[in-house]
A and B are shown apart, each in its own frame.
Chain A
Amino acid sequence: MILDVRQLKKIYTTRFGGNQVEALRNVNFSVDEGEFVAIMGESGSGKTTLLNILAAIDQPTSGTVTLNGKSLSNLKEKDIAAFRRDNLGFVFQEFNLLDTFSLEDNIFLPLVLSGMSYEEMHKLLTPLAERLGISELLSKYPYEVSGGQKQRAAAARALITNPKLLLADEPTGALDSKSSDELLRLFGEVNAQGQTILMVTHSVKAASVAKRVLFIRDGEVFHQIYRGEDTDQQFYQRISDTLTILATGGDAK
């Protein structure tokens, strides 16, 4: 088990006191090594809050997150960044590439932060870039390449540290369908090679590439389905059906 989430609760207090908003009520789930899990839910269901807590960017009100045997709540702020660097890789909807860096430098950023030498970094990058099909683009700047290419560079940045867990937040949200397909195929490939992936999305298409889908509603894990022996197509249908039931108020548990 690589990630274990127990009784996670997050309450926001609005800025001027007063109202409290419960973003996560009681979230429990775990992810095993080599899994590809998608978390689905509508806007406002608490997906992003969950991801932020998993990334140690946000602290839960109560509950525990154990990543690779370490409880995140016990980490000091100084160690969190290093921990994040060593164990987590991120892919965001908005790519979050720094426009002051070339793609190559963007990919190197986490390695530079952990103090790796240029030669070592270069050795890591060459095969990875090859695999992601961005070898020709490395010297380009973010503004010069397409959205799909940006997202592949962002994926390279997430993967180059060899993270225990790859966190993806709506990775196809800003891509056209062709680029989406390419990226999802890529996620499937890295997963097949053993990379654990946790992806937050509300695209059925994206979720249908995963091996397991968790559904979140009103701050709780409401339901989950496994792919089993389904093809992408069949799994897509099942996710879609589940969502319909969820939306029309069915009670699956």
Chain B
Amino acid sequence: MKTAFFPKLAWAGIRKNSKFYLPYLCTCIGMVMMFCIMQGLSSSPQLANMKGGGNIALMLSLGRYVILIFSLIFLFYTNSFLIRRRYKEFGLYNILGLDKRGISKIIVWESLFVAGISLSIGILLGVLLQKLAELALVNIVRGQISYDIPFSADSILYTVLAFGGIFLLLFIKTVFQIRKSNPLRLMQSEKAGEKPPKANWFMALLGVLILAAAYFIAVSIESPLAALLLFFAAVILVIAATYLLFMAGSVALCKILQKKKRYYYKKNHFVSVSSMLYRMKRNGAGLASICILSTMVLVTFSSSACLYLGKENSLDSLYQNEISTTIYLNKMDHPENFDTEQYKKAFADFFASHNVTPKETFIETKASTFGIIKNDKVMMNPEGNDYTSLELNDLRAFYFLTADEYERKTGQAVTLADNQVLLYTKDVDYPNDTISFDNLTLRIIGRLSKMPDMNFGDSPLEKKFIFIISSMDTLAPILELRDSYDDPLVTYGWYYGVDLGLESEQEIELFEEFWPMIGRVNRAEGSFGYSASSKAEQANDFYTTFGGLFFIGILLCIVFIFAAAMIIYYKQVSEGYEDQDRFEIMQKVGMTQEDIKKSINSQVLTVFFAPLLFAGLHLAFAFPMVWRILQLFNFTNLKLMILITIAAFLIFAVFYSIIYKLTARAYYHIVAPKN
């Protein structure tokens, strides 16, 4: 009897509570599977061989940790829910003569069963689905497809170790939880009278204020760099505010409604408001978690989708030519030796020797800098190069074009004296007539109504000043200014761009020879700086980086949705048991079944759609901030982003509603008045 007794008891416990254990097991299996897939992919040899695969492997192994930490928190949450439901059973065992050691033994066996089932099925599914995930990934980043079945003993071992550890922690927690309790309390814990929740006005108010602050930051930030820096802070604020509002704010709101006697003592409000008070107190934290998870899903998905789907657009604005190079004249030791013709000739020879005809050649001289504008002065280097996030907000980009260049582009001749300029401003007003850069003061004698068509896409700063100057000599006083790293404050260069109409593979091959060639041509000029880029190569980078992000975004979304579904399910079921008695009483006191159903409906709807609603609100306010950040990646398609964000929200809302429908059935099944 001794040997099989505890395993049998444990197995019976799991089976009898299958309504709770089945979803729990599914969660465990899902988490193990996801981890196994990510682990397997990140160490897959195919990924290592793929161009840019290292990037993706890194992202995947980071994503792995996200899943691991998330699993730990989440399984603790669901496990404590499970154990609470079983207190009565354990209490009964205890009274019937099973001591706590015995109960711990049952828990040992239960943990072993749960761990065994989740690990074996999870890993099996993980290995099976890994190939599918790999194909999806390869398809997204446009890599080469291979047809071998990946199987790595290492990734299985890691999965077993990681989740074995989590299950061990869960087991220890459960045993402590049981050890601390006494049998009578175990028996009664479900029925213990609950104090009416007190409204914590301070916390509620704090929640409102923090949320307002977070939203203010989100909408008021204009500079992409500042947005990137403050995004994390805003996220923390939003998380804190969400918890405060759901936990304290909701209770306070119910209390306010209760105090309005005319409102409260109405058939439709009376029962709902008073039950909501308790419901929110018990579920505030859970609902806030659902809300935050939902927001994360939405933001992750929409931003990674934007980057991935909008990459063509970003590429076009970032790279106007297929192959381009900029030679920085003020980084040269002897700029006076610089000879444009020499370069042009070298480039023409290069393309001729490779049997390609450069379709368009694009040459210009331009200078650019950035700085903070104060009145009519531009501070180009405040306190080294460290900008606070507030200053980042005031950062502007300045471009200088010569009158000759402008005439060449537009056909319009302009005559300017020294230090006289024409100004075009994008997205910013500048009312003054003069503007000073250090010791150089420019006089604005006219304004352009149309932006000169040229490559301005290389700065993430949206607010731009474009100056037409008489010649580059005008800038001489500031061209030699250096920052603390001895880099010039003003970038002054010669831009060369070319379109060849080649396949991307060929273009990349050509580019591999092109950029060392520039170095050889220029060695005669002494030391200098230059940059060169190939659009096709950058495109590959975009695919792997953003495609990888998108892929991981999807994986994480699946995990988050899965988790949200579980939390909702457990909420519904536990609520159901708590509400069961209550609705029986109400029926006896004279509520019709219809009234009861209506009341249940309105409460359940409020409880479960409040997180979705708030997630939508968070998403709406995060939108401007995410938009600024995406601009850093030269994503400029606002329409696409609005479309993707709305689509993401709608898709998510559909998922959420399906989950709600499924779980609501479980709830109604429990509370439905029996007749």
Contact = CB atoms under 8 A, between A and B. Distances in A.
A115 B274 CA distance: 17
Contacts of A57: 587-588
B277 A100 contact: yes
Interface in B586-612: 586-595
Contacts of B586: 98, 109
Interface stretch (A33-41, A75-83, A226-234): A75-83
A247 B195 CA distance: 46
B270 interface: yes
A189 to B, nearest CB: 23
A98 B585 contact: yes
A112 B270 contact: yes
A112 B589 contact: no
B329 to A, nearest CB: 77
A125 B265 CA distance: 14
Contact of A157 (B589, B592, B594): B589
Interface string B556-588: 000000000000000000000000001001111
Given A57-B587, A92-B588, A109-B270, A78 B262 contact: no
A144 B492 CA distance: 80
Contact of B194 (A78, A108, A117, A143): A143
A105 B274 contact: yes
B520 interface: no
Contacts of A182: none
B274 A90 contact: no
Size bracket of the A interface: 20 to 34
Contacts of A101: 274
Contact of A113 (B194, B278, B591): B591
A100 B275 contact: yes
B639 interface: no
A99 interface: yes
A222 interface: no
A78 B594 contact: yes
A85 interface: yes
A142 B587 contact: no
Interface size class of B (residues with CB under 8 A): 20 to 34
B194 A109 contact: no
A93 to B, nearest CB: 12
A81 B591 contact: yes
B588 A112 contact: no
B97 interface: no
Interface in A135-183: 141-143, 157
Nearest to A95: B585
Given A96-B588, A98-B586, A113-B595, A108 B193 contact: no
Interface string A99-142: 11110010011101111011001000000000000000000011
A113 B585 CA distance: 13
A84 interface: yes
B193 A81 contact: no
A55 interface: yes
A143 B193 contact: yes
Contacts of A112: 265-267, 270
Contacts of B274: 98, 100-101, 105
B265 A81 contact: no
A85 B587 CA distance: 10
A141 B589 CA distance: 18
B261 interface: yes
A108 B278 contact: no
A110 B588 contact: no
B411 interface: no
B597 to A, nearest CB: 12
Given A81-B590, A81-B592, A98-B585, A141 B195 contact: yes
A110 B193 contact: no
Contacts of B193: 99, 142-143
B196 interface: yes
A96 B588 CA distance: 9
Given A100-B277, A105-B274, A109-B270, A90 B589 contact: yes
Contacts of A85: 589-590
B589 A99 contact: no
Nearest to B584: A96
Contact of B590 (A92, A100, A110): A110
A110 B588 CA distance: 10
A42 to B, nearest CB: 24
A118 B589 CA distance: 18
Contacts of A143: 193-195
A97 to B, nearest CB: 8
A78 B592 contact: yes
Contacts of A78: 592, 594
A138 to B, nearest CB: 14
A113 B594 CA distance: 13
A75 to B, nearest CB: 12
Interface in A46-84: 55, 57, 77-78, 80-82, 84
B38 to A, nearest CB: 45
B595 A81 contact: yes
A107 B261 CA distance: 15
Interface in B352-395: none
B194 A99 contact: yes
A96 B590 CA distance: 13
Nearest to B196: A141
Given A77-B592, A81-B591, A102 B196 contact: yes
Contacts of A114: 590
A80 B258 CA distance: 29
A112 B263 CA distance: 11
Contact of B265 (A77, A97, A102, A118): A118
Most buried by A among B261, B590, B594, B595: B590
Interface string B268-296: 00110011011000000000000000000
A218 to B, nearest CB: 26
Nearest to B593: A77
Interface of B: 193-196, 261-262, 265-267, 270-271, 274-275, 277-278, 582, 585-595
13 contacts: A77-B592, A78-B594, A80-B592, A81-B587, A82-B592, A85-B590, A96-B588, A100-B582, A109-B270, A115-B267, A118-B262, A121-B265, A141-B196
Interface of A: 55, 57, 77-78, 80-82, 84-85, 90, 92, 96-102, 105, 108-110, 112-115, 117-118, 121, 141-143, 157
Given A77-B593, A113-B591, A115-B266, 16 more contacts: A57-B587, A81-B595, A84-B590, A98-B274, A98-B586, A100-B582, A101-B274, A102-B196, A109-B270, A109-B586, A110-B590, A112-B270, A113-B589, A113-B590, A141-B195, A143-B194
3 closest Cβ pairs, A-B complex: A143-B193, A85-B590, A81-B592
